[in-house]
Amino acid sequence: MSVYIFIDHTQGHVKKSSLEALSYGAALATQLGTTAEGILLGTIASDPAALGKYGIKKIHHAAQENLNALDAQVYARIIADTVAPSGEGVLVFSNNVTGKAVAPRVAVRLKAGLVSGAIALPDTASGFVVKKTVFSGKAFANIGIDTPFKVIALNPNAYTVKEGEGIAEVVPLTAAAPAPKVKVVSSKTASGEVPLTEAELVVSGGRGLKGPENWGMIEELAHLLGAATACSRPVADAHWRPHNEHVGQTGIAIAPNLYIAIGISGAIQHLAGVNRSKVIVVINKDPEAPFFKAADYGIVGDAFEVVPKMIEAVKRLKNPSS
């Protein structure tokens, strides 16, 4: 049975989380002694065949521009129709916004078992068991799938991108896309130097920053580090920052390599969205702030003193002669 990986892209570029899914799918195909095949809907700026360097042998490509914008129902139908004739297989998605919308629909169409939030390659020694996080990352569960089709949604930043050599064979998908049931009347792209969901580094601010006028230092630190900016929910609710920066249980869940939390208490609902970060740095003037329990590094201090010093230190590091 083949391993099929959905290739998610935005503004002509394949998302990093999707490159992780490609690498994961390729490794799983090797483990199962089969081949990895990508499914690409819409158009990307580069040659799709070059994605072969992530270990996939074939790409099923529907190169219609009207597929560039996500329509979960249309995507699910095309993906399911593409793989259904094979009768069995593993489908890998990134567990990002697109994957969360599409993977369950594909699973329903294929009558497949689905594990979302996978964090490791399946154990295939006897059966097919996928490890995932549960309870907002506080525990793990190992879920067995025994349906002919198996759907896995891989958590972003849970698997390292592996780049090698290779060119994939591109097979055009010519079947007409089903008519969309949803009509998009307008869309607004979030502004920002680095998209939050794709960011390796994130600088985040909370109510401890007192007001929107104090976000200049957050933005400056983020800019110097090449990081995205984020915030706690009350900050977005108070319109100090846009809602697309709100992380947590009711906001975006992220898993950057570095999360710097400034003036954020560390409530469980906030942690639910950031506790998969590889390294967490907390800056808070209250030594009892709950966030310190989840931190890899903590600075007890006033953000208005600490952050300007960090900015100066980063500037010195980047330009030692100044």
Q: Considering the complex, what minimum distance in angstroms separates the CB of residue 289 from ligand FAD?
A: 4
Under rule CB under 6 A, residue 273 binds ligand FAD? yes
The residue within the footprint of ligand FAD, chosen from 152, 199, 295, 303 (CB under 6 A), is 303
The residue within the footprint of ligand FAD, chosen from 47, 81, 163, 286 (CB under 6 A), is 286
- 178 alpha carbon, distance to own chain's centre: 27
Q: Please report, as residue ranges, which positions from 30 to 69 form the binding site for ligand FAD (by CB under 6 A).
A: none
The residue within the footprint of ligand FAD, chosen from 11, 86, 250, 257 (CB under 6 A), is 250
How far is the C-alpha of 241 from the C-alpha of 233, rounded, in Å? 9
- Please, which residue, 68 or 136, has the CB nearer to ligand FAD? 136
Under rule CB under 6 A, residue 243 binds ligand FAD? no
Buried residues in 112-137 as b, exposed as e (16+ CB within 10 A): bbbbbbbbebbeeeeebebbbbeebb
φ and ψ at residue 270, rounded to 5 degrees? -75, -45
- Please, which residue, 91 or 262, has the CB nearer to ligand FAD? 262
Q: Which stretch binds ligand FAD (CB under 6 A): 14-22, 140-148, 211-219, 302-310?
A: 302-310
Candidates 162, 176, 178, 197; CA nearest to 36 is 162
Under rule CB under 6 A, residue 249 binds ligand FAD? yes
Q: Which stretch binds ligand FAD (CB under 6 A): 21-29, 82-90, 134-142, 204-212?
A: 204-212
Q: Which stretch binds ligand FAD (CB under 6 A): 10-18, 46-54, 151-159, 280-288?
A: 280-288
Contacts of 272 (CB under 8 A, 6+ apart): 136, 137, 248, 249, 253
Q: Considering the complex, what minimum distance in angstroms separates the CB of residue 28 from ligand FAD?
A: 32
Under rule CB under 6 A, residue 269 binds ligand FAD? yes
Residue type, 167: I
Antiparallel, parallel or unpaired: β 129-134 and 139-144: antiparallel
CA distances 258 to 189, 202, 254, 274, 297, Å, are: 24, 6, 10, 10, 11
Q: Considering the complex, what minimum distance in angstroms separates the CB of residue 114 from ligand FAD?
A: 24
Sheet holding 279-284, edge to edge: 228-231, 201-205, 258-262, 279-284, 297-300
Q: Considering the complex, what minimum distance in angstroms separates the CB of residue 124 from ligand FAD?
A: 36
- 193 alpha carbon, distance to own chain's centre: 17
How far is the C-alpha of 146 from the C-alpha of 273, rounded, in Å? 30
Q: Which stretch binds ligand FAD (CB under 6 A): 6-14, 30-38, 145-153, 244-252?
A: 244-252
Which residues sit at the interface with ligand FAD, rule CB under 6 A?
A: 206-208, 232-235, 248-251, 263-265, 267, 269-270, 273, 283-286, 289, 302-304
